[in-house]
Amino acid sequence: MQRARLIPVSGISGNAEAEQRATSALLAVMSTVRDFSNEILGSLGASRASKAIVETFIEVEIKLANGSKVRPDGLIRVSYGKSEWTALVEVKTGSAELGADQLNSYLAAAKEVGADEVISISNEIGIAGAHPTPGLKVRSNSRVKVQHFSWSRVLSIAVQCKEHTGVDDPEQCWILGELIRYLEHPSSGVTSFDDMGPSWNEVRDGVRQGTLLKTSDALDNVATKWDELTRYLALRLSAETGVSVTQVLPRTERDPKSRLQSLRSDLLDNGQMSSQIRVPGAASDMDISADLRSGQIVVEASIDAPEDKKGRGSVGWLTRQLGDAPTDLRIEAFAKNARTPASALLEAAISDSNNLITDGRSDISRFRLSLYRNAGKSRRSGGRSPGFITTVNSVVDDFYQLVLQDLTPWVRSAPKVQRKPELDTFPQPGEPLRQESESSPVLYRRADDQERSVAGDVSAKAEDKYQDDVVVQTGSRAVEHEIT
């Protein structure tokens, strides 16, 4: 006996049916759960108003001016007041890839019907944020834009919306949960990133043997897969943490061609592939590197040492925050202006902080934390032995959960206000009063800075708890005051 489901996974006979079911399920939930559709469509120009109407359709047929017909998988229309935003949708599941000819025909159709966007969804991810399909006839100033969502990104947004941001309406929350359950099922055709591609073995072995050719297309394939893996790691962490985890690219590599060239050069020269991801609120970015020559994966982070502590105090400040970290975590301590750092494993640093102090240098400026793991060899995940992607996922999870997420950076203390000492000159019982000039009243200053004036025939109504007779000499006569 099984529980009835809103979106069943049974009975999916092939990829075509999986594609139709995934399209219908996704668009139907987008039209119902406003928080979810807002997260996906709001950044594309659709109205973010909570009362905006989201309409979705599947198997749309559009007749072009030349008489031909195109049938995108879906259409989305968001209207609010007099404004209207429309997008055509093309969906692929499983290993099916998007085609440039098909997407270009949808771009032409979108222009004719006045649509604003063409949205493509597939298991492809793309490099440096670019569309994974080359040959699209769209420019940066085109009226109709094209936007790609990987299924991993769609699933990440759905999980963030349900588990972290929250959906106020309980029925809508349940509906979104049903979509998540469906997309996570293997029969849905939505796959996680689990394959480094057919060129993986050639590049892996070529790096170790020194036989890689600069002109090899295999370099581009593996470099592209590595960047896709980086973006997949960021999407998975986004779903788990509830914040927008992003890939960090140097300014010179934000163009897809420049990024690809940089990865190619690093593979040829050093046998390595590197990337960086940023978790908002974390003490540091994570640097991820795969060394194909040594067969190791390393994840690193750098953190500044506290400025108000010396060497042993800085080391203790760091190790106290690493109570759950693996004992083989490598720590490097950089003294100011030093060329080489002192290095020790966490276990050794805890037992003796002097292991991270070189030549008595106590002016540590920063630390670097590194976690090394052996890389899997196979291109695919799920085999008898852990594949390359599995080991990368594992070391990134261990480093973030056991090291980085509990690490708090040092913050300089707030400056203190400097107050001048205040003197209490109000006369105490038994003390003589000060003599003032004949023309001015007698002023007494209390500790609370309240000034009192005693002159002429002022009667005694002071707030003090004692009584005394005070004789104030003013000129040639005496005025008697009773202070109570």
pLDDT 10s digits, 146-186:
999 999 999 999 999 999 988 989 999 999 999 999 999 98
The contacts found for 352-355 with CB under 8 angstroms, 24 or more apart, are 353/311, 353/312, 353/315, 353/316, 353/319, 354/312
CA distance 228 to 132: 10
CA distance 313 to 334: 14
Per-residue model confidence as pLDDT tens for the chain (484 residues):
677 888 888 778 788 889 999 999 999 999 999 999 999 999 999 999 989 999 999 989 998 888 888 999 999 999 999 999 999 999 999 989 999 999 999 999 999 999 999 999 999 998 887 899 999 988 878 899 999 999 999 999 999 999 998 898 999 999 999 999 999 998 899 988 999 999 999 999 999 998 888 888 899 999 999 999 999 999 999 999 999 999 999 999 988 899 999 999 999 999 999 999 999 999 999 999 999 999 999 999 999 999 888 888 999 999 999 999 999 999 999 988 877 899 999 999 999 999 998 776 778 999 999 999 999 999 988 778 889 999 999 999 999 999 999 999 988 888 888 877 666 666 666 666 555 555 545 444 444 444 444 444 444 444 444 344 444 344 444 434 444 4
φ, ψ for residue 172 (rounded to 5)?
Answer: -65, -35
CA dist 133 → 97, 119, 136, 259 (Å)? 8, 12, 7, 16
The domain 15-188: what is its CATH number? 3.40.1340
Domain ranges of the chain: 15-188, 200-404, 421-484
- The DSSP-derived string for 276-317 is EEE-TTSSS-EEEEEETTTTEEEEEEEEEPPTT--HHHHHHH
Q: CA-to-CA distance for 322 and 353, rounded, in angstroms?
A: 14
Beta pairing class for 74-80 and 451-454: unpaired
Exposure on the CB side of residue 222, measured as CA atoms within 13 A: 31
Closest CA to 357 of 311, 309, 307: 311
Residues 279, 281: Cα–Cα separation, whole Å: 6
Q: Which residues pair with 451 in a beta bridge?
A: 445
Q: How many CA atoms lie within 13 A of 1 on its CB side?
A: 0
Q: Which residues neighbour 172 within 8 Å (Cβ) at sequence distance 6 or greater?
A: 32, 33, 34, 35
- 3-state secondary structure (DSSP) of residue 34: helix
The helix, strand and coil proportions of the chain, stated in percent and rounded to the nearest 5, come to 35, 20, 45
Q: What predicted TM-score, i.e. pTM, was given to this entire model?
A: 0.79
